[in-house]
Amino acid sequence: MTTETHHTPPISLFLKVWGLLFVLSFFSYLVEYIGIEGFWRWTLVLFFMVLKAWVILRVFMHVKWERLSLQLLLGLPTLVIFVLVAISAIEGNYIHNLRLEFFFR
Amino acid sequence: MQSTWDGVVADWSADKETFAMPWGKLMMWIFLLGDTFIFGIFLIGYMAVRMSAVEPWPDTEAIFTMTMFGHEFPLLLIAIMTFILITSSGTMAMAVNYGYRGDKRKAVMFMGLTALLGATFLGMQVFEWYQLIVHYDIRPWGNPHGASQFGAVFFMVTGFHGLHVLGGVILLIVMAIRVHRGLYDKKGYAVVEITGLYWHFVDLVWVFIFAFFYLL
């Protein structure tokens, strides 16, 4: 288990991923340029964002070739962030309503 | 029972170090995990502030529009900055790859190129801030385009990211010089990968900033 296998992936893979990142960035810019609004804007922008982050993490940062132990070390604590997202969203909404209630009535 | 978890159990329970990698790489990962939380908290704070704002949020499309050749392009400068940072991530990946292949000259060359692209990004960000402050009159405490919280959050998060880019450029230059001088000839070029991890992380954070601050 101690043998550190070092994968040196072919350069062509990095060039492909590089190209993919360009295309994804171009698509998210296109969403802006065309002027898609509302639900589809959020869906598309977030979709391209997550895909880009995923590719950078997996290929450029070599997480794909790391052992599951390191992947868990990085992934599990990061997931907890979503708890804070949920709590802060509830709180933000609450403060918004309070402000409307007390300053704009 | 043979399963994917066997490796994890063996790594943590065996009488040896848990993570089989150079200590510097593990420390960089742990630092980046901490940094993830700092940026995570900043972005969540941004969300909470934006949700609770009563005035309308400034329209970034209008603020960041640039006119070129008589045609208006929304977010043109930001788009170029994004492409530059992605390109620098690509060159960094090449540097790491050549480092592991033992091609010192090319690794140093690509590290230098990455630092140059990072510096270009910083220069453009300085120009962006200059435009926001001088032409659009945006301050951390208020602006004429909508909710006053916009300036505070925007300057803090993009500024903190810019500081990371600056740190990355300095780190890249220092490491490129050290690799060039042959300080890692015997130890191996894992240090290029460690520097690369940091640089890719800076790019990763920009992916989120690009989406949340400019596009949404």
| CB < 8 Å to B14, chain A | 1
Out of A4, A42, A57, whose CB is closest to B21? Answer: A4
Q: What is the pLDDT, as a whole number, of residue B51?
A: 94
- Cα(B99)–Cα(B175) distance, integer angstroms: 12
Quick check: A22 and B86 CB within 8 A?
Answer: yes
Among B137, B155, B156, B147, residue whose Cα is nearest residue B58: B147
pLDDT grade, residue B62 (50/70/90)? confident
pLDDT tens digits, B104-146: 999 999 999 999 999 999 999 999 999 999 988 899 998 888 8
- Cα(B144)–Cα(B138) distance, integer angstroms: 7
Provide the chain B residues 25-44 that lie in CB contact (below 8 A) with chain A: 29, 33, 36-37, 40-41, 44
- Cα(B66)–Cα(B77) distance, integer angstroms: 7
Out of A21, A60, A67, whose CB is closest to B11? Answer: A67
Q: How far is B117 from chain A (nearest CA, A)?
A: 15
- Cα(B144)–Cα(B6) distance, integer angstroms: 59
- Cα(B194)–Cα(B204) distance, integer angstroms: 15
- Residue tagged 């993919």 (tokens): A20
Quick check: B86 and A77 CB within 8 A?
Answer: no
- Cα(B67)–Cα(B15) distance, integer angstroms: 64
Q: What is the pLDDT, as a whole number, of residue A7?
A: 63
Q: What is the pLDDT, as a whole number, of residue A4?
A: 45
Q: Does B170 touch chain A (CB under 8 A)?
A: no
pLDDT at B161 over 60: yes
With helix as H, strand as E and coil as C, how does B35-57 read?
HHHHHHHHHHHHHHHHHHCCCCC
Going residue by residue through chain A (105 aa), what tens digit of pLDDT does each one get?
334 445 678 888 989 999 999 999 999 989 988 888 889 999 999 999 999 999 999 999 999 999 999 999 999 999 999 999 999 999 999 999 999 998 876
Please list the residues that pair with B142 across neighbouring strands: B139
The CATH number fitting domain B22-215, selected from 1.10.260.40, 1.10.3720.10, 2.70.98.60, 1.20.120.80: 1.20.120.80
| CB < 8 Å to A69, chain B | 7-8, 11-12, 18-19
Q: Does B124 touch chain A (CB under 8 A)?
A: no
Quick check: A78 and B49 CB within 8 A?
Answer: no
Quick check: B93 and A69 CB within 8 A?
Answer: no
Kindly give, in sequence order, each residue whose CB lies less than 8 Å from that of residue B176, ignoring residues fewer than 6 positions away. Answer: B108, B111, B112, B115
Residue A56 gets which letter from DSSP? I
Out of B44, B52, B89, whose CB is closest to A96? Answer: B52
pLDDT tens digits, A49-69: 999 999 999 999 999 999 999
Residue B115 has which token pair?
């630092």
Kindly list the domain boundaries of chain B, sorted by start residue: 22-215
| CB < 8 Å to A72, chain B | 8
Residue B80 has which token pair?
């170029």
